[in-house]
Structure 1
Amino acid sequence: MRDPYAILGVRRNAGQDEIKAAWRSVAKAVHPDHNQDDPLATQRFAEAGKAYELLRDPVLRSRYDRVRREAELRRMEAMKQKMRGPEPAEEPVDAETAEEAISRIFGVEPQAQPSPSKPKAAPQRPVDKGEAPADTRTEAVADSKREEASRLEATALRRSAAPAADLVAAIVRRIRGRIAKPAEKVPDLAVDVNVSIEQVVNRARLSVELPDGETVKLSIPPGTTDGQAIRLKEQGYRVTGMARGDVLATLRINQEGPFRTQGLDLVTTLPLDLEDAVLGCDTVLETPSGSVTVTVPAWSGSDKVIRIAGAGLRGADGEAGDLLVELRLMLREKPDDKVTDLMRSLRHGLYL
């Protein structure tokens, strides 16, 4: 089956209303009754129906998103492994020579060191007739052996005395002037988080479940508005050999209750009967931030908006938005004879 989001033409973070509207549009466009000349209309209609059935079910949709993301992670890991290529086999490091060990690590051939020269043989002096040749040769050989032993002892002392210093010096020479290349970062994970106005006012701490099944904690910051994005550092997907990505959480404030938001302003509707609209009144509203008294002026119609300063959401700087009260004129549930007679007399120019 193809990608259900692509079939319905919706975003991956689309809500249920958007998915339902897209399904109706696609179903109407590909319905076999409207495409009798298209032999594939039935197949496309069935495909759209399966896509809608999958996306309308939160459990099936979450499972599909998780499987799709895991497949993407495996593909990214395979591409990363292909780009890196086969790893070279490790070679044994000679602990005796620091230059050779660091050269193997950094891939640089060690500089050739001059090999110790062999001791020169003592020049043979011409033997005078009056000297003893055997004694002279014996003394020269002894001097040569003593010189060779001293040289070997000094070399052994140098190698055993400062291997750590040689190793540190070799490392410094290799990395001096080089800048370590930062690891490539995994793309950010974008999620939508639905919150209520009360949670925004109380700056609640939420638990957000990610598509891969992990749960992260999110604190609503002061001054939060609808559509605000919060970045959670290094809380996203993990991929071997790459820096962990971030979670980009977009807050969606529920607008279906008695209050809705416009930035930091709160908007609500106040129903009025005919008497209160004509004569005016005072009424108390319970808002997410507390009780507010609203004064309705006399002769207020449904097109009037009453603004109460400072009764909205509080911003990050401590300043609060306003409360906007939209008036709506309502009639009583049961007809009132007096009101009916009054309206009839006004229509016909009669006064009681």
Structure 2
Amino acid sequence: MTKDPYAALGLTKEASADDIKKAYRKIARTDHPDLNPDDPRAEARFKAAGQAYDLLKDPEQRRRFDAGEIDASGTEQAPRGYYRDTARGPENPYTQSRTSQGNPFQGGFDADDFFANFARGQGAGFSRGAPGDVPGQDVQYRLGVPFLDAALGTRTRITLPDGGTLEVKIPEGARDGQTLRLRGKGTPGHGAGQPGDAFITLDVIPNPDFERDGDDILVTLPITIDEAILGGKVPVRTVSGTVKVSVPAGASSGQVLRLKGRGVKGRNGKGDQRITLRIVSPSRIDNALKTFMEGWRAEHAYDPRTGKETK
């Protein structure tokens, strides 16, 4: 992606969080690969916008990028003296331990400190094993997940800082901000010490067609004038595929239909899909339609603001 995530969204650093969200959704609607199957440039813009949104929607990540602490891909930017400092400083922020207390030798080695810390370690639960048995540390990662993958569940891999990979199972119905725990996938222990765990925080990437509300899925369904007046079966996308929904005769814009069990998996089963209808007039009004509507208005004028006929 571009080195400037703001540029990928057509914004500047002064953009608000709402501006960032709106810009991403606009690009997702126009450049989504499903809408531009033969346009690699549109796909590239869509991917760049998704990566930029993934970075900037998190206030802390945005602050760190603006401060130059991480780059546009979220990778740590090594400050001057990095290798010297990390040799005696706390862990890398991407692999911070939940149990670590920092480096006991910060600022230089002291034999008395070494043996004091070793003794404290013995009293902190290491006495069950040999003196050199030390458990591994927990590590934390963030993972961007497409909306549909989170809704349906999937398996994916993340690349670790050391170049290795870790397979992650995304459960069906996963939520934005949800943290997964992979036991034994942290740093290895020393001696007979058990390895630490890996904690994966999920960042669900928005989808231009779907919105989530609890376990329900929200969509907007455009319908024609005749479908609104006469009713009929109309195709609508769900997270698990396209189905046909019955639009009742006399439907209005803003009316909400419900598909039971077409939402996402939650603690109490699957939610529903709620469909908001939106009547869309044809882009060109031909003479036949115009003549018909003029005749209808002359005989059946109706004011929807009062709910009464005007004749």
Q: Which range, TM-score by smaller chain? A: 0.5 to 0.7
Letter in 2 for 1:193: G
Residue 336 and residue 223 in structure 1: after superposition, are their counterparts in 2 closer, same or farther (change >3 A)? same
- Distance in 2 (CA, whole Å) between partners of 1:240 and 1:300 is 68
Residue 332 and residue 272 in structure 1: after superposition, are their counterparts in 2 closer, same or farther (change >3 A)? same
State the match for 2:170 in structure 1.
220
Q: Is the 8 A contact 1:66 1:212 kept in 2?
A: no
194, 211, 215: which one aligns with 1:264: 215
Residue 64 and residue 314 in structure 1: after superposition, are their counterparts in 2 closer, same or farther (change >3 A)? same
1:255 aligns with 2:245: no
- Distance in 1 (CA, whole Å) between partners of 2:194 and 2:105 is 15
Residue 21 and residue 234 in structure 1: after superposition, are their counterparts in 2 closer, same or farther (change >3 A)? farther
101, 104, 122: which one aligns with 1:80: 104
The structural deviation recorded for 1:228 is: 1.9
State the match for 2:246 in structure 1.
295
State the match for 1:35 in structure 2.
none
Residue 335 and residue 88 in structure 1: after superposition, are their counterparts in 2 closer, same or farther (change >3 A)? closer
The structural deviation recorded for 1:237 is: 5.6
Counterparts of residues 234-245 of structure 1 (less than 5 Å):
234-236=184-186
The structural deviation recorded for 1:235 is: 3.2
Q: Is the 8 A contact 1:192 1:250 kept in 2?
A: yes
SS at match of 1:256: coil
- Distance in 2 (CA, whole Å) between partners of 1:253 and 1:305 is 26
- Distance in 1 (CA, whole Å) between partners of 2:255 and 2:278 is 8
Residue 345 and residue 74 in structure 1: after superposition, are their counterparts in 2 closer, same or farther (change >3 A)? farther
- Distance in 2 (CA, whole Å) between partners of 1:18 and 1:336 is 41
Q: Is the 8 A contact 1:255 1:261 kept in 2?
A: no
Counterparts of residues 304-343 of structure 1 (less than 5 Å):
304-315=255-266, 319-343=269-293
The Cα offsets for residues 108-162 of structure 1, whole Å up to 9 and x where unpaired, read as xxxxxxxxxxxxxxxxxxxxxxxxxxxxxxxxxxxxxxxxxxxxxxxxxxxxxxx
1:23 aligns with 2:13: yes
| TM-score w.r.t. length of structure 2 | 0.55
- Distance in 2 (CA, whole Å) between partners of 1:54 and 1:312 is 39
- Distance in 1 (CA, whole Å) between partners of 2:80 and 2:168 is 25
Residue 267 and residue 178 in structure 1: after superposition, are their counterparts in 2 closer, same or farther (change >3 A)? closer
SS at match of 1:81: coil
Residue 69 and residue 312 in structure 1: after superposition, are their counterparts in 2 closer, same or farther (change >3 A)? farther
1:281 aligns with 2:250: no
Q: Is the 8 A contact 1:65 1:211 kept in 2?
A: no
Q: Which has the higher strand share?
A: 2
State the match for 1:172 in structure 2.
none
- Distance in 2 (CA, whole Å) between partners of 1:88 and 1:62 is 34
1:62 aligns with 2:75: yes
The structural deviation recorded for 1:310 is: 0.9
- Distance in 2 (CA, whole Å) between partners of 1:315 and 1:186 is 32
- Distance in 1 (CA, whole Å) between partners of 2:280 and 2:216 is 25
Q: Is the 8 A contact 1:222 1:316 kept in 2?
A: no
SS at match of 1:197: helix
State the match for 1:194 in structure 2.
145
Q: How much identity, in percent, do the aligned residues show?
A: 24
| TM-score w.r.t. length of structure 1 | 0.49
The structural deviation recorded for 1:65 is: 7.3
- Distance in 1 (CA, whole Å) between partners of 2:11 and 2:285 is 39
- Distance in 1 (CA, whole Å) between partners of 2:155 and 2:7 is 27
- Distance in 2 (CA, whole Å) between partners of 1:311 and 1:220 is 19
- Distance in 1 (CA, whole Å) between partners of 2:81 and 2:220 is 43
- Distance in 2 (CA, whole Å) between partners of 1:18 and 1:74 is 38
Residue 288 and residue 243 in structure 1: after superposition, are their counterparts in 2 closer, same or farther (change >3 A)? same
- Distance in 2 (CA, whole Å) between partners of 1:25 and 1:310 is 38
State the structure with more CA Rg.
1
- Distance in 1 (CA, whole Å) between partners of 2:255 and 2:167 is 42
SS at match of 2:266: coil
Gaps of 5+ in 2: 17-62, 92-101, 129-133, 302-311
- Distance in 2 (CA, whole Å) between partners of 1:219 and 1:68 is 38
Letter in 2 for 1:312: G
The structural deviation recorded for 1:25 is: 4.8
- Distance in 2 (CA, whole Å) between partners of 1:188 and 1:321 is 33
Q: Which has the higher helix share?
A: 1
Q: Is the 8 A contact 2:216 2:274 kept in 1?
A: yes
Over aligned residues, Cα RMSD in angstroms? 5.0
Residue 179 and residue 192 in structure 1: after superposition, are their counterparts in 2 closer, same or farther (change >3 A)? closer
The structural deviation recorded for 1:54 is: 9.2
Q: Is the 8 A contact 1:266 1:322 kept in 2?
A: yes
